[in-house]
Amino acid sequence: MNTYDVVVIGGGAAGLSAALVLSRARRTVLVVDAGAPRNAPAAHMHGYLSRDGLPPGELLAAGRDEVKGYGGEIVAGVVTGLSREGHGGFTAVLASGQRVSARRLLVTTGLRDELPDVPGLGDRWARDVLHCPYCHGHEVRDRRLGVLGGTPGAVRYAQIVRQWTHDLVYFTPPGILTGTERAEMTARAIGVVEGAVQELVVEDDRLRGVRMDDGHVVRRDALFVPPRFVPNNDLVVGLGCDVDPDGWITADRTGLTSVPGVWVAGNVVDPRAQVITAAGQGSAAAIALNADLVDDDVRSAVCDHNRPKETP
Ligand SMILES: Cc1cc2nc3c(=O)[nH]c(=O)nc-3n(C[C@H](O)[C@H](O)[C@H](O)COP(=O)(O)OP(=O)(O)OC[C@H]3O[C@@H](n4cnc5c(N)ncnc54)[C@H](O)[C@@H]3O)c2cc1C
């Protein structure tokens, strides 16, 4: 079984960024990647300094080349199990049956966006159904926009989306807006439509509007929807890493979890992380991981140094 200094599970921005720093630090690194980064459905990636507008796949392809250029290894595959070994290391098992051994683990498996159950929403995801105004708000600026409300935080989210257009409608189940929220919406000219959203109206492969349960259609060009973020953290939870009451892994500023030797970075631990943030977290984790390995190397060097020498 191959042993690596670090096995990175997940080869998105967080994982590849970490692998780049670790391979440049002359660590043996394996990245195992299932190849489904969260922003794959989007045609372009925005807000990444110097790479604004790049197709998401191109950033990752360039990252993979950079990692391999320093000797890092990348395999396509799914890690199905992680276990702690007696000597302090770890074993990762891939769906293919392959097993690899690691001194340290970095888990960067991202999150899943769970959308409300409205017919048509999933089909339009990342096209004219959007969630992140910082990623795609500029591309739909000044258009007829909507926000699907009704979930905690949705009113504030609508006020943020308002930054990109003067024509915004907030769709909400009846009777849940507070007086203050309603007044704030009115003050900023955000329309409020109360009722149940029945479906999206799509013509010529474009969103045209939102049909309410009473049949009337509110014309919209794009709809912002806050998804439920579900971390892909079964593997780390299975290792015994602590989670907060909402089920998110708890970690220090470098991404170190409660299990020594196990780090996390990117959306698997932080739903707010953009691509550039995830890459930054991967880099910070890699630097901490290398320092931890150096501590290990010092301990074993001292041990070897102090071992009584055999006399010939
Ligand atoms: C539609 C959409 C558009 C977006 N647009 C932008 C944008 O324009 N700008 C921006 O900054 N952000 C954008 N984002 C956010 C962006 O997707 C995330 O910030 C970013 O993907 C986080 O990187 P990550 O490395 O943490 O996770 P990911 O990029 O999701 O990478 C995780 C990787 O781990 C792999 N993986 C998961 N489980 C396993 C396993 N068990 N074994 C092996 N591999 C595994 C996955 O296949 C994936 O390749 C967008 C998000 C969405 C949903």
The string of pLDDT tens digits covering residues 183-230 is 999 999 999 999 999 999 999 999 999 999 999 999 999 999 999 999
Question: What HEC string does 249-312 produce?
Answer: ECCCCCCECCCCCEEECHHHCCCCCCHHHHHHHHHHHHHHHHHHHHHHHHHHHHHHHHCCCCCC
What integer is the mean pLDDT of 140-148? 98
> Among 38, 54, 121, which residue has the most ligand 1 atoms within 8 Å of its CB, making it the best to mutate?
38
User: Which pLDDT score, from 0 to 100, does residue 49 have?
Assistant: 97
Q: From ligand 1's centre to the CA of 36, what distance in Å?
A: 7
| Predicted confidence band of residue 124 (pLDDT cuts 50, 70, 90) | very high
Separation CA 36–CA 215 (nearest Å): 37
User: Which pLDDT score, from 0 to 100, does residue 311 have?
Assistant: 72
Q: From ligand 1's centre to the CA of 16, what distance in Å?
A: 11
What integer is the mean pLDDT of 98-115? 98
> Among 39, 58, 94, 114, which residue has the most ligand 1 atoms within 8 Å of its CB, making it the best to mutate?
39
- Pair type for strands 228-231 and 217-219: unpaired
The response to whether residue 278 sits with its C-beta less than 6 Å from ligand 1 reads yes
| Predicted confidence band of residue 312 (pLDDT cuts 50, 70, 90) | low
The fold of 3-112+228-306 is FAD/NAD(P)-binding domain (3.50.50)
User: Which pLDDT score, from 0 to 100, does residue 91 have?
Assistant: 97
The response to whether residue 35 sits with its C-beta less than 6 Å from ligand 1 reads yes
| Predicted confidence band of residue 109 (pLDDT cuts 50, 70, 90) | very high
- Pair type for strands 90-94 and 99-107: antiparallel
> Among 30, 31, 135, which residue has the most ligand 1 atoms within 8 Å of its CB, making it the best to mutate?
135
Q: From ligand 1's centre to the CA of 184, what distance in Å?
A: 34
Q: From ligand 1's centre to the CA of 81, what distance in Å?
A: 20
Class of the CATH domain delimited by 116-224: alpha beta
| pLDDT tens per residue, range 234-257 | 999 999 999 999 999 999 999 999
In the predicted model, is pLDDT for residue 89 greater than 80? yes
Instruction: Report yes or no: 224 and 146 within 8 Å, Cβ to Cβ.
Output: yes
User: Which pLDDT score, from 0 to 100, does residue 298 have?
Assistant: 97
DSSP state of 37: -
In the predicted model, is pLDDT for residue 39 greater than 70? yes
CA 158 to chain centre: 22
Domains of the chain, residue spans: 3-112+228-306, 116-224
Instruction: Report yes or no: 30 and 2 within 8 Å, Cβ to Cβ.
Output: yes
Angle at 227 between CA 109 and CA 43, to 5 degrees: 70
Separation CA 148–CA 116 (nearest Å): 9
Read off the tokens for 276.
């550039």
What integer is the mean pLDDT of 75-104? 96
Domains 3-112+228-306 and 116-224 equal at CATH topology level:
yes
Taking the CA of residue 282 as reference, the ligand 1 atom at the shortest distance is: 25
User: Which pLDDT score, from 0 to 100, does residue 88 have?
Assistant: 83
Separation CA 298–CA 289 (nearest Å): 14
